[in-house]
Amino acid sequence: MPKLTKSYVDKVQPKAADALHWDSELKGFGLRVTPARKLSFIVQGRVGTAGRASPTVRLTIGPYGVFTVDQARDAARERLRDMRMGIDPRAAASRSAAQRKTLQDVADDYLEQRPLKPRSKRAIEQAVAGPFKAFGWTDKPLANISRANVSEAFMEMRERAPVHANTAFGILRAIVNFAINEYVDKDGSPIIKDNPVKALYRKWAHVTPRTGRVPDDKLGAVWKHLEAARQRAHNGHTGAALDLICFLLLTGCRLSEAAELTWDRVNLEEGWWHLPDPKNRNPVWLPLPTQAMELLRSRATRQGYVFGSYNGHIKDPRDSMKNLSAVAGCKLTPHDLRRTFTHVGVASCSIEIVKVELLTNHIPQSVTARHYMETSKLQYLKPQVQQIADAIVGA
């Protein structure tokens, strides 16, 4: 067994398979030579002091050329000393790698490993590429983002955009929680131990919940406006946008749910439509009122998207909503139509709130409703959705 020296390493020749050359001076220090004559220094030893009962660990120190023989021997000596003290260098390397992971690295892992919907993925990507990049955090190790960093950045952002600040730092909280649970030592203890977003526990921006809806005394005018506008729609895009708005008002669904609806998920014979993977991940079959069924039957095509447009489907019926807002006397968003449906169901039709929640695909909060009511196949709520639609159309 020779002593590894520069002259020895320079002269060593490859074999048909990997060959190991062990150093006579430091037990456990060696050189690996591949058939292509790639030379790498290695170290091998047992973790702990239990002799053969201790696990054997072999690590690569680095390639010859990057390390001199003496530098590699010194590195091997440090690794062997750690092993004798019971420190597994593989765990230390894993811990160090986790601590070096940048915010971008962790966000990428989160996006890859979590079953997120496209909209959630976009929100995370926008937060990382937007405010977090502006703060200089994208390429910073996540473990180095402190509570003080978070508190200062959040307060600055809250001054400009309180809602966006809450959203962005809520995303950061989720990313760090993922890191805490995902990157762990061999004993399961987290490598990243603190979530710096905890610094915001008394600093979150107070945001008043939105309550916009069509005013009761304008509901009739709004529906009449939609009917008249549908009759004079000058092109297919405008017609599809108006039909989409009517559908939102008659069913109380979310904009994305209606806009992305395809004909294969509509059954006009039985009077229902299907959401296989909605926001709350509860697949649901929803009843259609007769007015919505008539509207769908009037659509020219029965292939692809129900509310199709030039490049796929209607995404934002902005112009039509602007005109509708003028009639209502207040600014309306597509989600305000969902709130209008709910309000009419509860206030005008005296329908139990739990049934309206089901019709708008909210999972009821009560234990009884969650466990004893049918929450997916909701065709049995046809009378209630019809009652709401009749109240809207007849307002």
Q: Which residues pair with 313 in a beta bridge?
A: 308
Quickly tell me which residue has 């009761």 as its tokens.
216
Per-residue pLDDT of the chain (395 residues; tens, 9 = 90+): 789 999 999 999 999 999 999 999 999 999 999 999 999 999 999 988 777 778 888 989 999 999 999 999 999 999 999 888 888 877 777 777 888 899 999 999 999 999 898 889 999 999 999 999 999 999 999 999 999 999 999 999 999 999 999 999 999 999 999 999 999 887 788 989 999 999 999 999 998 888 899 999 999 999 999 999 999 988 888 999 999 999 999 999 999 999 999 999 999 999 999 999 888 788 999 999 999 999 999 987 778 999 998 888 999 999 999 999 999 999 999 999 999 999 999 999 999 999 999 999 987 777 777 777 888 999 999 999 999 999 999 97
* 266's tokens: 């509509």
For residue range 255-268, list pLDDT tens digits in order: 999 999 999 999 99
Whether residue 339 contacts residue 248, with contact meaning beta carbons closer than 8 Å, is answered with no
* Spatial distance between the Cα atoms of 161 and 205, rounded to a whole number of angstroms: 9
Between the CA atoms of 179, 153, 161 and 194, what dihedral angle is there, to the nearest 10 degrees?
A: 30
Q: Which CATH number applies to 216-393: 3.40.50.10490, 3.40.50.170, 1.10.443.10, 1.10.10.10?
A: 1.10.443.10
DSSP structural state of residue 102: B
| Widest CA span in the chain | 98
Instruction: Please report the pLDDT score of residue 363 as a whole number.
Output: 78
Q: What is the pLDDT of residues 129-142, one digit of tens each?
A: 999 999 999 999 99
Which of 210, 294, 303, 313 has the alpha carbon at shortest distance from 247? 294
The helix (H) or strand (E) run that includes residue 32 is strand 29-33
pLDDT in tens, 129-184: 999 999 999 999 999 999 999 999 999 999 999 999 999 999 999 999 999 999 98
Domain with CATH 1.10.150.130 in the chain: 100-200
Q: Which CATH architecture has domain 100-200?
A: Orthogonal Bundle (1.10)
What DSSP element (H or E) covers 313?
Answer: strand 312-313
Dist. CA 273–CA 255, nearest whole Å: 15
Report how far residue 2's alpha carbon sits from residue 23's, in angstroms, rounded to the nearest whole number.
6
Q: Which CATH class is domain 6-87?
A: alpha beta
- The alpha helices in 316-366, defined as continuous H runs, are 318-328, 334-343, 353-359
In this prediction, residue 86 carries a pLDDT of 84
Q: Which H, E and C letters describe 147-169, residue by residue? A: HHHHHHHHHHHHHHCHHHHHHHH
CATH 1.10.443.10 in the chain: give the residue spans: 216-393
* Euclidean distance between CA atoms 166 and 127, whole angstroms: 11
* Beta carbons within 10 angstroms of residue 382's beta carbon: 17
